[in-house]
Structure 1
Amino acid sequence: MGCWTGMGRVLLIILNLVFLLVSMAILAAGIILRFFTPIIATFLGQIKVSGNTKDQFNIPDIDDISELPFVGDIGIALIVFGAVLCCISFFACCGACCKFRPLLILFVITMSTLIIAQGVVGGLFIAEDTVLHEEIKKTVGDKVKNDFQANGTDVFDFSINMLHYLLDCCGIRGWDDFNNTPKPPSCCNRTIIDGDSSWDDERQECASDPPTAPDSYYNQEGCYVVLQDKILEHLTLIAVAFAVILFIQLLEVIFACLIVKDVNNADSKVGPY
């Protein structure tokens, strides 16, 4: 066994033991998000916010929010991702430890597919205008358009109102999400909502039912665009971290190939030496 192959075997085992622990943590997080937060939601939906200075805008305190919309879907995604990562790490550890060629070949094929998939999805996410972003905006925006109620008390309504307030935005895609209904009070500019008594008239116009405030009182940008801009502010850091992860995974594939080649060479030898 060559020096590079031996070093690759050790690194492959160590890296995938770490990934195995990480995958178990991801699985645990996914299970919690998928199966336990809905129980909290049943209680949260019955909460009536009181003593809040933003009652008229239906903006709860952050402490009152224990679940965000689509958390169940995120939990399922984490469970699937954690299970796949766990299987891949298991293949690599067992294959490298025992020099078992079938597991190593399976690892190489699976990891290569994962690298390509990550590259494609990561590229679509990092770029500003892609099919991925449009699909996310459409899915969440349609849910806001169909299900959101400005004065609702369930988790989804509370979360969207809080999103409007924290990000100074309105809807997911902007005002288009409220074409057939008045703009919710939480879309009102944060300066007005948080302002002192000199803003009372403007605040009352935003919070009236129906609202009598002019368009200039409301945020115009959709929350998805605002959130996307905040993420893109750290694009360099995200891109570097993503590139490092892909590089480590590519090294794993190379080392696994070296071990497979070494096993093949050992199997092809004839005689006792």
Structure 2
Amino acid sequence: MEGDCLSCMKYLMFIFNFFIFLGGSFLLGVGVWVLLDPLGFREIVAANPLLFTGVYVVLASGGVLFLLGFLGCCGAIRENRLLLLSFFMLILFIFLAELAAAILAFLFREHLTREYFSRELKRHYQGHNSSDVFTSTWNAVMTTFDCCGVNGPEDFEDSLFRLLSPRTMVPEACCQSNGFPGDVSVEQCVSGSATFRRNKGCYSATVDYFETLLFSAGALLIVVLTIEIFAMVFAMCLFRGIQ
């Protein structure tokens, strides 16, 4: 019976580490997808250094989980006590790091609110022709998602942009341009006409677009943490059972 239990633990650990391997592969894929800038997502996270740093955290976590899943599978099959103990300590360290990251994300959640982005836009956005990184990032976001400001065109009232361009109501990035030189619609748009401008705020546009992805990522994180707990339990049981 002891041999049957040991064999059961070995294969259970192999299965759970295989899921860790798959989870790490998924996180690596998400990180690479963001860095390759498929649909302007890099511009969104670049607007907040905390978010952009999170992309590299996802990449690092995915790479470590990928490696640990592979090593855990090898340790279970070979029944190596040293490898199993090393795997347990490493997976425990990663679990605590992920838990700390989740707590920090909760503490800094106010930096991701509508009010925060609106306040930053009013303070730092300069206009269409600016070489400022913050400004060019927001121009890319508004163009990619067909939106204007955080809540809408009214965000540019009493803003740095209006101080720099007092005769312009909204930037060109908010306009529905046909792409022709001297487009009349752009001139009417920046002068205040609501006919040729985008009236939807970028906060709603991006939240609607990435809502499913964010919920999926949150659910995946919970699943990964659960799998890590089971992997640590099976690794310790297998470690104690091997003579």
1:83 counterpart residue number: 60
Structure 1 SS opposite 2:189: helix
| Cα offsets for 1:214-269 (capped at 9, x unmatched) | 5676544431122213334xx4x7645643553254134213302302322446xx
Shift in alpha-carbon separation, 1:95–1:145, aligned structure 2, 3 A:
same
Indicate the RMSD between aligned Cα atoms, in angstroms.
4.6
1:51 aligned residue: none
**Structure 2 gap ranges (5+):** 163-167
> Which residue pairs with 2:165 in the alignment?
none
Question: For 1:76-106, what per-residue CA distance to the aligned partner results, in whole angstroms no more than 9, with x for missing partners?
Answer: 4333332244335545544551342253144
Larger radius of gyration: 1
C-alpha contact 2:9 2:234 (8 A) present in aligned 1: yes
> Residues of 2 paired with 1:75 and 1:242: CA distance?
18
1:152 touches 1:158 (CA, 8 Å); kept in 2?
yes
Q: Percent identity?
A: 14
> Which position in structure 1 is the counterpart of 2:239?
263
1:22-52 alpha-carbon deviations (Å, 9 max, x no partner) = 666677778x77xxx9xxxxxxxxxxxxxxx
- Given the two structures, how large is their TM-score scaled by the length of structure 2? 0.61
Corresponding letter in the other structure for 2:130: G
Q: In structure 2, what is the equivalent of residue 205 of structure 1?
A: 188
Instruction: Give the one of 89, 95, 111 matched to 2:95.
Output: 111
Letter of the 1:14 partner, please give it: F
Residue number in structure 1 paired with 2:172? 186
Q: How many equivalent pairs are there? A: 217
1:101 pairs with 2:85:
yes
Provide the residue aligned with 2:139 in structure 1.
Answer: 161
Taking structure 1 as the reference length, the TM-score comes to 0.55
Which amino acid is 2:124 matched to? N
**AA in 1 matched with 2:91:** F
Structure 1, unaligned stretches of length 5 or more? Answer: 38-64, 125-129, 268-273
CA distance in 1 between counterparts of 2:32 and 2:214 reads: 25
**Aligned-partner Cα distance in 2 for 1:184–1:219:** 10
